[in-house]
Structure formats: C-alpha cells, structure tokens
Amino acid sequence: MPFTSLSVRRAARETVSGLPREFWWLWTSTLVNRLGAFVATFMALYLTLDRGYSASYAGLVASLHGLGGVISSLGAGVMTDRLGRRPTLLIAQSSTAVSVALLGFVHDPVSIAAVAFLVGMASNASRPAVQAMMADIVRPEDRVRAFSLNYWAINLGFAVSSTAAGFIAEYSYLAGFLIEAAMTMACAVVIFVKLPESRPEQVRKEPGEPEVGLRTVLRDGRFMSVVGLSFLVALIFQQGFVGLPVAMGAAGFTPADYGLVIAVNGVLIVVLQIPVTRLIQHRDPRRLLVVSSLLAGYGFGLTAFAGSVGVFALTVCVWTLAEIVNAPTQTSIVVRLSPTQGRGRYQGMYTMSWSVAALVAPLMSGVVIDRYGAEWLWGVCAVVGTVAGAGYGFLMRRLPDEEPPTDLPLPPPLPPTAEPAADLPLPPPSPTSETTTAKPGISAP
C-alpha cells in the first residue's frame, strides 16, 4: 500500500510539474468558467418547462446558439492573431457574462432567440485564444499534457455544474443565469490580473512573403483535410448527446436511464484523462488518431446491439476512451500544423469544425432514426469512424517533425580560430526560430 501511494503521488507530481505559472492561471479560468456553466445544460428545459415554448422553438434556439459559435470561431481566430490572446479573452468573457445575464431577463421569443445567438458567439470566441495561448506558453514537448489537463478541467467543471444546475433550476432559472454570468466575469478578472499577453512578436517578413490570413488557412490543403476529419470525428461524438437519448427513449428507456448512462462519460474522463495522457504523450500521434477514430466509430456502432442499461454504459466506455485519446492529440496536431503568427486563425478554423458538427449532428440523427431506425445511425457512425481513421492514416504519413525540446543543452562552443569538425553535432534550433519559418507550419516533403 505505501508503494502504491508513493507511485500515485509521483505520477501526479510528474503530471503537473514543469508547466508555467501562466498555464495554471489559464487552467483555473477554464475550470471556473465550466463550473458556472448553466445555459448550455438547461436551456431546453428552461424554454419548454419554465417559459412554456414548444420543443421546436427550443430546437431553433439551440441551433441559433450553435450558429453563433460557428460564426465567432473564425472571427475570434482573427482577433487572437491581430489584437492578441489576452484582449480577445477579455472581450469574449465579458461579452459572455453580459449576454448570459441578459438572457435571463428577456421574455419575448424573438429576443430570446437573438440573445441566445449572441451567447453562442461570445461563449465560443474564447476557445481559439485559449488554445493559442497554451501553445505560446507551454513547451512543445509538454503540449499534449497541457491540453489534456485543460480538457480534464473542462469535464470536471461540467460534471460539477450539471449536478449543481439541477438543484439551482428547481429554485430559480434566473439564479442560474446570474451565477453563470458572475463566474464568467470572474474569469475575465483572473485573465486581466494574472495573464500577460503571450502573442509572439511579429517578425519582419521577407520581400514577397505572404501574410498569414484566412486565405492562408483555406489554401493549406493538409490542415483543411485535418479539419474535415475533425468534423467527422466530432459528428460521431455528438451522437452521445443527440442520437443516444432519442434512441434510448424510442427503445423504452427513461430519462433517468439515459442520465445514468451518459454520466459514465464524464466520470471516466475525470478519472482516466490524466493517467491515459501519461501513457500516450510520447507515442506516435498518427496511430493515436487512427485508433481513436476507430474506437469512436465502432464504440457507437456497438450501440446497435445494446438492450440494457449496462450494455449501453459499456458502449459509452468504448467511445469515451476514444475521446480521451483524441482530444489532446488532435489539438497538439493543430498546433504543429499552424504557423506561429497564425495560431489564432488556425485554431479558429479547427474550433469551427466542432461547432458545425454540433449543428449537423441533430439533423443527421433525426433523419436517420426517423427514416431507417436507430440501428442505421450506429452503422453510419461505424462507417464514418472508419473513414476518419483511414484519412488520418493517409494524411499523417508526412507529418512535420515536432519542435525540438527547449531544454536540451547546447554543445560547447568552438574556439574562435578552430574550423568546425565534420562530425560535430549541430546545436538544436533556437526556440524562437519557428517565428521565422517562411512556409506556414508544413515542412517540405
């Protein structure tokens, strides 16, 4: 037992050690933000039960909320590169706090829909800036671990807030809106007080060298292919929250049964995210993306054979493991494919793939289940996962090498008069050398 306890403490220390103080303030901001999440969790119940609107209207508001996220992803990416990470985060968090508070006071259906659209825009605008800032302040060799810890904070906060939001909703929906607004504004204060700007300094461009703009991102064939594959994987994961409850309800299971099954997802992420990251952080990301895509597709594919709550929970275990592996790995790949001066735009485009999937997934699940049955939906998920896995395997064959570790010692300097020996190893590139790369983030084949 002492040995086990010592091993656990050592593993925990190694997991959190070596990351800069700025990362932990950013991590704290993420956790506080997710602890206060209320709107996304109980918006449908608020509109249908408290306000008395139809399910169709609630679906329309949810779609407008998602559409706002799609639009803001690209705009926030541009702001992240032009204005900086810190100003973008301050604007996004402050706007989210104000719009969420306003949403609790508007009653007119048109006003609710309009404000929900603004909430979607504001709440999603911080994601490109957060991811770009993490890439700026964390060493390349620590990025998978950092992104994993951030994802763990997101799920831990969501698990706690979902439970608390249920009790808050029984007391007052307005209280939930105001609590989220207050906690989001607290995040803005943390950012303002504790986080300095991390945007790399602009370097002087060579004559004829193009600037990094949205056209640069769109013309980056390999990166846009990764965005497309990310959309496919996100489309699969979204079915856990749109297709699975509908299918379970049609099969005669209760909302409580679904709540028990989907809770497995959050619990596993909180328990396994950190130890799994320790196992995968130095493994080939190409294989990790292929394996996670297949696990996601076939994890949902197995749902076609589920006939009890226990079997449904088992399928959730399979695709949750895929989610744990995919999230930090794919985010780190996006950083590797992004030029330093264009990280915000690249992260914005990547974030948009998930926002679009959140819009398409409900339509996809509804059409397939209504016309063909739930078994066909799970079969489609298996096919989509297979396509995504094959796509990652093909595209990642010439993945750019990771930046060298920043803490490697340099070899001793040569005497001024000595000629360099032919077999003397070259020193590793300076950590700032990536700001001078002419081609955006992709090495020559």
Q: Over 70: is that where the pLDDT of 406 sits?
A: no
What is the C-alpha separation between 69 and 125, in angstroms, rounded?
7
Tokens describing residue 201: 């300094």
Provide mean pLDDT across the span 21-28.
89
Determine the pLDDT at residue 295. 95
Looking from the CA of 8 toward its CB, the CA atoms found within 13 Å total: 6
* Separation of alpha carbons 248 and 254, rounded Å: 8
What's the pLDDT at 126?
87
- Among 2-6, 68-72, 393-397, the least confident range: 2-6
User: Which of 108, 103, 144 lies closest to 123, judged by CA?
Assistant: 103
The answer to whether residue 440 scores a pLDDT higher than 80 is: no
CB contact at 8 A, 226 and 400: no
Read off the pTM.
0.71
| pLDDT greater than 60 at residue 211 | yes
Contact 123, 94 (CB under 8 A): no
Question: Closest Cα to residue 327, out of 387, 285, 267?
Answer: 285
Res 389 pLDDT > 50 = yes
User: Locate tokens 């992240």: which residue?
Assistant: 80
Highest average pLDDT, of 132-136, 218-222, 294-298, 333-337, comes from 294-298
Residue-wise pLDDT tens digits, 302-330: 999 998 999 999 999 999 999 999 988 88
Burial 390-403 (b: 16+ CB within 10 A, else e): ebbeebbeebeeeb
d(CA 61, CA 5): 49
pLDDT one-digit tens code per residue, 352-371: 888 888 888 877 888 888 88
What is the rounded distance in angstroms from the CA atom of residue 132 to the CA atom of residue 343?
6
Distance CA 422, CA 407 (A): 25
- Residue 417: is its pLDDT beyond 70? no
When pLDDT is averaged across residues 360-388 and rounded to a whole number, the result is 89
Averaged pLDDT for residues 82-92: 90
Token couple for 401: 């090498």
How would you classify residue 439: left for phi > 0, otherwise alpha for psi between -120 and 50, otherwise beta? Answer: beta
- Residue 385's pLDDT is what? 96
Query: Residue 166 pLDDT > 90, yes or no?
Result: no
For range 365-385, the mean pLDDT: 90
Tell me which H or E stretch contains 112. Answer: helix 109-124
The residue ranking higher by pLDDT, 153 or 421, is 153
Q: Compare 235 and 56 and report the one with higher pLDDT.
A: 235
Q: How far apart are alpha carbons 315 and 369 in whole angstroms?
A: 19
C-beta separation of 142 from 402 below 8 A: no
**Angle (CA) 360 365 366, round 5°:** 100
How far CA 107 is from CA of 41, 44, 46, 63, 110, in Å, comes to 19, 15, 11, 18, 9
Residue 196, CA distances (Å) to 26, 48, 96, 336 in order: 11, 43, 21, 23
Of 403 and 163, the structure prediction assigns the larger pLDDT to: 163
What mean pLDDT, rounded, does the chain reach?
Answer: 79
DSSP label of 422: T
Q: Are 226 and 293 in contact, with CB atoms under 8 Å apart?
A: no
- The first and second tokens of residue 191, run together, are 């950012």
Would you list the DSSP string of 131-173?
HHHHHHHS-GGGHHHHHHHHHHHHHHHHHHHHHHHHHHHHH-H
Q: Give me the mean pLDDT over the 328-344 stretch.
A: 85
Comparing 129-138, 241-250, 308-317, 397-406, which segment has the lowest mean pLDDT?
397-406
Of 396, 324, 393, 365, which Cα lies nearest the Cα of 148? 324
- What distance in Å separates the CA atoms of residue 104 and residue 187, rounded to the nearest whole number? 20
Q: Over 70: is that where the pLDDT of 12 sits?
A: no
Query: Cα angle vertex 435, ends 433, 438, to 5°?
Result: 95
Residue that has been written with the tokens 């990351």 in this structure: 19
- CA pair distance 304, 297, nearest whole angstrom: 12
What's the pLDDT score for residue 442? Answer: 30
pLDDT for res 237: 93
The pLDDT confidence band at residue 7, using thresholds 50, 70 and 90, is low
Res 430: pLDDT: 37
Cα 217 from Cα 338, distance rounded (Å): 9
Residue 137 CB coordination number (10 Å) = 20
Q: What residue type is assigned to position 234 of the chain?
A: A
The pLDDT value recorded for residue 307 is: 87
Highest mean pLDDT among 185-194, 257-266, 292-301: 292-301
What is the greatest pairwise CA distance in the chain? Answer: 85
Tell me what pLDDT residue 99 has: 93
Cβ neighbours around 251 below 10 Å, total: 12
